[in-house]
Amino acid sequence: MNQELHESQFASRIRHVLDQGTSNLDQKAVARLYQFRQDALCRQAAPVAVLSLAGIGHLATESLHSHYRGILAFLALVIGAMGVQFWQNARQATELAEIDSALLADEVSPNAYTDQGFIEWLNHLSQQEEGSEESLPQ
């Protein structure tokens, strides 16, 4: 530490002397440096808009304590479970929609299935078919 301080103090004195050297440059060099500066300014690149949200990535990686990380993991689990539930409901709705579509596309109107006479006729028809199957020779 002490050595660094000595180095720094010595370097500071060297710096002071070197600064004197820059103020004594010959006028030819000074004029050329001025011309270089003007040339460089003529070619300055157009500014590009820069806006950054500092600390977002930092927040996600370093600044969160383990306590908050646990809560974050629990919230992620809950959101995941809700997502699975939503997906299953959507699948059931799709299946029901497919059944409804099949019924609507059938020759028999869906209203017929609510008619008691039609239901009895269907039962009677199915019993007849069963009876005829039993009477057939083996």
Q: Looking up tokens 């300014």, which residue turns up?
A: 41
Smallest separation (angstroms) from other proteins to the CB of 49 = 8
Query: Distance of CA 1 to CAs 4, 68, 125, Å?
Result: 5, 40, 106
Classify 114 as helix, strand or coil.
Answer: helix
Residue 78 to residue 74: CA distance in whole angstroms: 6
Residue 8 to residue 15: CA distance in whole angstroms: 10
14 binds other proteins (CB under 8 A): yes
In the set 46, 90, 102, 104, which binds other proteins (CB under 8 A)?
46
Interaction residues for other proteins, span 49-68 (CB under 8 A): 49-56, 58-59, 62-63
Smallest separation (angstroms) from other proteins to the CB of 37 = 5
Q: Which helix (H) or strand (E) holds 69?
A: helix 66-105
Smallest separation (angstroms) from other proteins to the CB of 58 = 6
The answer to whether the CB of 104 falls within 8 A of the CB of 110 is yes
Residues 6+ apart with CB under 8 A from 110: 103, 104
Nearer to other proteins, 51 or 105 (CB): 51
Nearer to other proteins, 9 or 123 (CB): 9
In the set 2, 27, 47, 136, which binds other proteins (CB under 8 A)?
47
Nearer to other proteins, 48 or 84 (CB): 48
Which residues in this chain contact other proteins in the complex, by CB under 8 A? 3, 7-8, 10-18, 20-25, 29-30, 32-33, 36-37, 39-41, 43-56, 58-59, 62-63
